[in-house]
A and B are shown apart, each in its own frame.
Chain A
């Protein structure tokens, strides 16, 4: 073992100056969502709503509802129940105003062979039989795992993505510069890029949106699952939970000892994807039977 080299005087001065300049520049730049005074935020949201109306041709309401203290969201998906029908995929697309062309799906359902177990190297997201479930197969839907230790937020050069206090990893589309570092950093392939301005039929726009969630996106930004932030912060279940015909999807507050999510974690066999990466997902998979 060699001793680490002592920094030279020049190196120290350069770093200190750079750090100071960084602080000054950040302090002078545009403000973050939660640092903006309320009246300014309302004004910029009003502007956002006008722009969104121009983009999608319909009045859109943008909420800025913040996290509730004492709430940490978690999600659980029952692998023994999921039949791979992809109802969740399309409910998510409609709820969250995802682009229809080019196609963006926040949820990807993998078909796996029972003999091989949970094995992503042999998983097929393009399965298309006349009826599901197929003999000898099971299904693993994957979306953002809302990591407690998210690799994606650490690589963002502009601080456009972060984990909220209630655990939802969000993106501020006004700060995203489209470098896609976060997509490279995400081990779950959960982030998606708008290569063009998203196209959504006017009639299919969901006008109930959130600043950090499903508000209409411009070209050149990254987007991802937000646990339906516009619904969950309002006390409701995400769209995928409500649409699942087999009831495989469960959602709630992990700090509430009476919630179904706590019941699952305490009573069922639970696993997370790629546990060895220490991302600490808030998305659990379980086997109820």
Chain B
């Protein structure tokens, strides 16, 4: 009996902990989410270190001096850099409305076109989650898994196949 009471007490304590502040975001809404930092290449941020003193060139063109490693495979016939990156402040992105968005809220930029995925991601259905099923969950930015310039998920080498059952010869 005593053990039963103890188990109940323990469970009660757990339950009340679970009822505490929840971080599960609603399926819709626009409040800020805690996410992992954006996956910048080393030393590339802040962009204004280089872009700060440069004249803004809004002409659509192939880049030949810098950022040549970036190959755009993301609706490239219609998009280019300044559709997402802000021309006047390179340290931020911008929405179609012109509202600027920091890199750690880049999901709002992606969500403009990929609304369905954005909704699923907010609900916890799209993308990887870490942490607690009933508490604080770790969210990743879209860009942590999808390179924004080539968003298709890269193929991976699989881990070894299971051993086939063998017949004992003894």
Tell yes or no: A38 within 8 A of B by CB: yes
Contact of A85 with B158 at beta-carbon distance under 8 Å, contacts A68-B11, A237-B133, A258-B22 already known: yes
Query: Of A68, A127, A268, A288, which is within 8 A of B15 by CB?
Result: A68
B163 neighbours in A (Cβ, 8 Å): 103
Q: In whole angstroms, how far apart are the Cα atoms of A264 and B157 in the complex?
A: 29
A196 to chain B, nearest CB (A): 12
Tell yes or no: A115 within 8 A of B by CB: no
A236 neighbours in B (Cβ, 8 Å): 131-133
B3 neighbours in A (Cβ, 8 Å): 34, 36-38, 41
The B-contacting residues of A in range 242-289, CB under 8 angstroms, are: 242, 244-247, 250-253, 256, 258-260, 263-264, 267-268, 288
A68 neighbours in B (Cβ, 8 Å): 11, 14-15, 18
Name the residue of chain B whose CB is nearest to the CB of A105: B162
A258 neighbours in B (Cβ, 8 Å): 22, 24, 26
Q: In whole angstroms, how far apart are the Cα atoms of A3 and B127 in the complex?
A: 61
A251 neighbours in B (Cβ, 8 Å): 133
Contact of A260 with B15 at beta-carbon distance under 8 Å, contacts A126-B161, A235-B133 already known: no
Is A288 a contact of B126 with CB atoms below 8 Å?
yes
Contact of A242 with B130 at beta-carbon distance under 8 Å, contacts A36-B3, A250-B124, A263-B125 already known: yes
Query: Of A65, A125, A252, which is within 8 A of B10 by CB?
Result: A65
Tell yes or no: A133 within 8 A of B by CB: yes
Tell yes or no: B120 within 8 A of A by CB: yes
Which size bracket describes the interface of B in this complex? 35 or more
Q: In whole angstroms, how far apart are the Cα atoms of A127 and B126 in the complex?
A: 26
Q: In whole angstroms, how far apart are the Cα atoms of A268 and B126 in the complex?
A: 12
Contact of A244 with B133 at beta-carbon distance under 8 Å, contacts A108-B162, A131-B155 already known: no
Tell yes or no: B37 within 8 A of A by CB: no
Is B133 a contact of A253 with CB atoms below 8 Å?
yes
Is A132 a contact of B158 with CB atoms below 8 Å?
yes
Name the residue of chain B whose CB is nearest to the CB of A195: B168
Q: In whole angstroms, how far apart are the Cα atoms of A206 and B2 in the complex?
A: 31
Is B125 a contact of A89 with CB atoms below 8 Å?
no
Q: In whole angstroms, how far apart are the Cα atoms of A36 and B145 in the complex?
A: 48
Query: Of A90, A103, A263, A264, which is within 8 A of B159 by CB?
Result: A90
Is B10 a contact of A66 with CB atoms below 8 Å?
yes
Query: Of A78, A128, A133, A232, which is within 8 A of B133 by CB?
Result: A232
A131 neighbours in B (Cβ, 8 Å): 155-158
Contact with B along A209-235 (1 / 0, CB 8 A): 000000000000000000000001001
What is the interface of chain A mostly: helix, strand, loop, or mixed?
loop
A110 to chain B, nearest CB (A): 11
Tell yes or no: A86 within 8 A of B by CB: yes
Query: Of B27, B132, B134, B159, which is within 8 A of A87 by CB?
Result: B159
Contact of A125 with B162 at beta-carbon distance under 8 Å, contacts A67-B11, A247-B127, A264-B125 already known: yes
Is B130 a contact of A237 with CB atoms below 8 Å?
yes
Contact of A250 with B155 at beta-carbon distance under 8 Å, contacts A66-B11, A126-B164, A258-B22 already known: no
Query: Of B7, B133, B153, which is within 8 A of A259 by CB?
Result: B133
B17 neighbours in A (Cβ, 8 Å): 235
Is A245 a contact of B128 with CB atoms below 8 Å?
yes
Q: In whole angstroms, how far apart are the Cα atoms of A253 and B18 in the complex?
A: 11
A136 neighbours in B (Cβ, 8 Å): none
A-B contact pairs, 9 of them (CB 8 A): A41-B3, A69-B15, A83-B156, A86-B158, A237-B132, A242-B129, A246-B153, A247-B145, A288-B126
Q: Given A105-B162, A237-B129, list of 4 further CB < 8 A pairs?
A: A86-B159, A89-B162, A253-B134, A263-B27
- Residues of chain A having any CB pair with chain B under 8 Å: 34, 36-38, 41, 65-71, 78, 83-87, 89-90, 103, 105, 108, 125-133, 232, 235-237, 241-242, 244-247, 250-253, 256, 258-260, 263-264, 267-268, 288
- Residues of chain B having any CB pair with chain A under 8 Å: 2-4, 6-7, 10-11, 14-15, 17-18, 22, 24, 26-27, 120, 123-135, 145, 153, 155-164
Per CB-CB distance, the 8 closest pairs between chain A and chain B, nearest first, are A260-B124, A247-B128, A38-B3, A86-B159, A131-B155, A247-B127, A128-B161, A235-B132
